[in-house]
Amino acid sequence: MTSKADFDEETWKRVASAPIIAVAVISASDDVGDDRDSEDEEIQAFKDSLVRLRKKYGKSELVNEVINFIENEGTEEFETLFNALGASASHESPLEDRIKGIAETSVILDGLADKKDIKL
């Protein structure tokens, strides 16, 4: 089975951050105003979904390690990405770079991860 140990530090960060990037893209794309209530609700919904994912796919060491990363480092990473994506939507930086990163992560996983872990 695939685990965090199968990745170098930079690649691991990309793999583990991919779900955070996806959530930040979704959250930034439906900006409903200047208050943080909507973003805070979306962060909480994401955290709640991690609990369900762990219950459903918890037999996979890779899934557990990604969820652990998100739970331990994800809020700060989400804030950073959400702010960057907000700037992207304002044409201050390219949103496509963030989305492209998710596609590149898929290629990384296809090359390194056990097929059982990535076909969940």
Cα-based distances in Å from 73 to 13, 15, 20, 70 = 10, 13, 10, 5
Report the number of distinct structural domains present in the chain. 1
What is the pLDDT, as a whole number, of residue 86?
Answer: 61
> What is this structure's pTM?
0.65
**Containing structural domain, residue 59:** 7-118
Per-residue pLDDT of the chain (120 residues; tens, 9 = 90+): 889 999 999 999 889 888 888 877 777 666 555 555 666 777 788 889 989 999 999 889 999 999 999 888 776 776 777 667 666 555 555 566 777 788 888 888 888 888 777 665
In a domain, 1, yes or no: no
Residue 52 domain-assigned (yes or no): yes
Report if residue 2 sits inside a domain. no
Q: What residues contact residue 65 under an 8 Å CB cut-off, 6+ apart? A: 3, 4, 16
Report if residue 33 sits inside a domain.
yes
